[in-house]
Amino acid sequence: MENLLVAKNVSKTYGNYKALNDISLEVPKGSIFGLLGPNGAGKTTFIRIINQITLPDTGTVLLDGEPLRPDHIQHIGYLPEERGLYKSMKVGEQALYLAQLKGLSQTEAKERLKYWFDRFGISDWWNKKIQELSKGMAQKIQFIVTVLHRPKLLIFDEPFSGFDPINATLIKDEILQLRDEGATVIFSTHRMESVEEMCDHIALIHKSNKLLDGKLINIKRAYQNNIYDVGLLANNPEQTTQELRSRFQVSTAAFKSIHDELQYRIKIPESTSANDLVSYLTTQGQLTHFVEVIPSANDIFIETVKNN
């Protein structure tokens, strides 16, 4: 797959503090790329480098195969985590100003703004001042301004903060549609359920270093460790438990069930196949539950960060 954005060996130091250490990343065209990491990991620095707000000390960033140039700004839409608008400026005037800064002509900007304002049903806000709007309302304006110039690359830093669930869903659907229309999205968030739901690629940055990156599904495969949740109505529970513990790593599992069964989380060695476990279990009683445990993005995040 072709990559829209490629970072090669990017490093950045502030004084004595190394904010990014030799980061290389590839963001495939048309993907939703989750940029994950604990607070202070270096995500924002990396995003600012893409936006040419900060220059890297070493390394290069390519957009569509070309090293970043000032005019690339027009192809990027950035919704920062720390965001706001001029409070005493009118909504329409402000949106026009920001759109023109992104290189749209006034008439073009007006047309597109009208489309988005109609789409969100907020046309009557045009002459209101930002300070008259609620935080969620202002966020909608900000979202519109971010995507108005139809950038190839959209960067959202915690896009859902400040939105109620209804508006968060609205924004999520808009992001997915923009992706379907060809945009590539870099998505930085701490909300793992959003990552699970939306991202097809992720990268995890921790303490200025990249710990892992790639397709989310491949990462999950790598992190799945032959672990299975098992429910068994055992004929002889004590004996079965003892035998299982002697052969495998066993812990108790907790899943919902209508039976009063034994519930185990079992990790089998790579030499053993799942079928072997199943055939053994069937000899011990009635098997009610057998599910492969797929690690969640949350698990991967916590485990990777803890191990480093």
Partner 1 sequence: MAMNHLSLIIKREYLNKVRNKSFIVMTFLSPLIMVAIFALVAYLSQLNHDNKRTIAVLDESGLFVEEFESTSSITYKTITGVPLSEAKKNTEESSDYGLLYIPATASVEDLSSQIVFYSDDSPSLTLIDDIEDAIEEKANTIKLANAGIDAQKIRDLRVNVDTRIETFQGQETSKLGSGLKLIFGGAAGYLLFMFIIIYGNMIMRSVIEEKTSRIIEVIISSVKPIKLLLGKIFGTSLAGITQFAAWVILLFIFSAVLTSVFDIDPATVQTPQQQMLESSTGGVDSIVQEVFYEINNMPLANLIVMFILFFIGGYLLYASLYAAIGAAVDSETDTQQFMLPILMPLILAVYVGFFTVIDNPHGTVSQVFSYIPFTSPVVMLMRIPFGVPLWQQLISVLLLFVTFIGTVWFAAKIYRVGILMYGKKPSYKELAKWLKY
Strand, helix or coil for residue 21: strand
CA distance 281 to 275: 10
Closer to partner 1 by Cβ: residue 53 or 217:
53
Determine the interface stretch with partner 1 among 98-106, 113-121, 163-171, 278-286 (rule: CB under 8 A). 98-106
Determine the interface stretch with partner 1 among 70-78, 117-125, 182-190, 295-303 (rule: CB under 8 A). 70-78
Q: Considering only residues 97, 223, 280, 290, which one is a binding residue for partner 1 as defined by CB under 8 A?
A: 97
Q: Among residue numbers 127 through 146, which ones bind partner 1 (CB under 8 A)?
A: 142, 145
CA distance 58 to 299: 33
Applying CB under 8 A, does 80 fall inside the site for partner 1? yes
| Residues pairing with 80 in the sheet | none
Closest contact distance (angstroms) between CB of 208 and partner 1 is 16
Closer to partner 1 by Cβ: residue 188 or 284:
188
Phi, psi of 203 (to 5 degrees): -135, 145
Closer to partner 1 by Cβ: residue 29 or 90:
90
Please name the residue that has the structure tokens 């706001």: 84
Which residues have a Cβ under 8 Å from the Cβ of 289 and sit 6 or more positions away? 229, 230, 231, 232, 255, 257, 261, 263
Which residues have a Cβ under 8 Å from the Cβ of 262 and sit 6 or more positions away? 230, 231, 232, 233, 234, 237, 240, 241
Applying CB under 8 A, does 104 fall inside the site for partner 1? yes
What amino acid is encoded at 301 in this protein?
A: F
Q: Considering only residues 72, 83, 179, 265, which one is a binding residue for partner 1 as defined by CB under 8 A?
A: 83
Q: Among residue numbers 28 through 57, which ones bind partner 1 (CB under 8 A)?
A: 48, 51, 53
Closest contact distance (angstroms) between CB of 12 and partner 1 is 10
Applying CB under 8 A, does 263 fall inside the site for partner 1? no
Please name the residue that has the structure tokens 């993907």: 31
Pair of tokens at residue 71: 């005019």
Applying CB under 8 A, does 112 fall inside the site for partner 1? no
Q: Which of 92, 98, 96 is nearest to 125 (CA)?
A: 92
CA distance 95 to 73: 17
Applying CB under 8 A, does 182 fall inside the site for partner 1? no
Number of residues that bind partner 1 (CB under 8 A): 31
> Using CA of residue 33, residue 39, residue 42, residue 47, what is the dihedral sign?
positive
Closest contact distance (angstroms) between CB of 78 and partner 1 is 4
Closer to partner 1 by Cβ: residue 101 or 291:
101
Residues that bind partner 1 (CB under 8 A): 14-15, 48, 51, 53, 70, 73, 76, 78-80, 82-89, 97-98, 100-106, 108, 142, 145
